Homo-oligomer: A and B are copies of this chain.
Amino acid sequence: MPVAMLKIPENQVAGHQAGNGKLGPLVDDSGRFYKPLQGDDRGSHEVSFYTSFSQDMTIPDQARGFFPVFHGTELVEASDGSGLKPHLVLEDLTVGRVNPSIMDIKIGSRTWPPESPEDYIAKCMKKDRATSSIFLGFRFSGLQFHSNNELGFWKPQRKAVQGLSAEEVKLVLRNFVSSNTSTGLESKPDCAFASVVLGGSTGILSQLLELKEWFEDQTTYHFYSCSIHIMYEKQLALEGKDPRAEIKLIDFAHVVEGKGVLDHNFLGGLCSLIKIIKHVLKASDECRTNGLLKDAQKNQDIAEN
């Protein structure tokens, strides 16, 4: 019975994807996300993390709020038709969201834990150096930006956004919070929603700063190759409503014990992302102020002439 209710998620931007007989995550109608356990030890590793984390009473509630709710594991019909397979059962982060704009950002200049096998380190190092990770301390691993109801989404190939420069990342962020985006990257995004999505007490920046506070304290886990999932609803912003901006941490297949040491790799990358978002927010505030000043000047000119 539950098998019939599972379907392919609409708003997944990174990771293995179901469809065309491939193995990938599924969702049900009650807000649960079923992630198949990867064949190697990554799947069991992620289950171990969720199990340990959900039982760890030292985690402050505020920090726990940044993680998807964990509902254990379950055998469900796999999306590739290979029969009943174990799946992680998690909160579906996009349930109830209408056309969410999403950024999936892999945090840390290094994506491999210190105790990894040599071939895994070599593979990760190559990718960290080929993408923006080494220089920026993070990389985009998936994007979907809603344009409007006719045009739908801009959803670039992952390879196209992993290796961006700091200036290109800022342009992507400006597009993320703009009303004039189409199905590509606008060179002059209007940043109309920068202040409501990025700024304010419930915006992305505030949430990232709260996450940073936890990372400046916690020494239990080191989050390698983990992502921050950033989301809001443009339609709500267009209607002048709360755009429901939200960040969550996802992907814990490479979390290792912190052994009393800060996760300096994640924290550094997080600080770098925060700095760039602050820059985008400040620039859009200045842009808006200049725009208002120009409008005021124009009105004055008209009045005077």
Contacts and interface: CB of A to CB of B under 8 A. Distances in A.
A35 interface: no
Interface string A132-147: 0011110000000000
A265 B109 contact: yes
A135 B265 CA distance: 9
A249 B261 CA distance: 23
Contact of A268 (B136, B167, B264): B264
How many chain copies? 2
A110 interface: yes
Interface in A73-98: none
A260 B129 CA distance: 18
Interface in A234-280: 259-262, 264-265, 267-269, 271-272, 275-276, 279
A44 interface: no
Contact of A272 (B137, B264, B269, B271): B264
A269 B264 contact: yes
Main SS class of interface, A: helix
Q: Which of A267, A268, A271 has the most CB of B within 10 A?
A: A268
Given A110-B110, A114-B134, A216 B264 contact: no
30 contacts: A109-B110, A109-B264, A109-B265, A110-B110, A114-B129, A114-B135, A135-B261, A136-B261, A137-B265, A166-B259, A166-B260, A166-B261, A216-B271, A216-B275, A217-B275, A260-B279, A261-B272, A261-B275, A261-B276, A262-B268, A262-B271, A262-B272, A262-B275, A264-B268, A264-B269, A264-B271, A264-B272, A267-B268, A267-B271, A268-B269
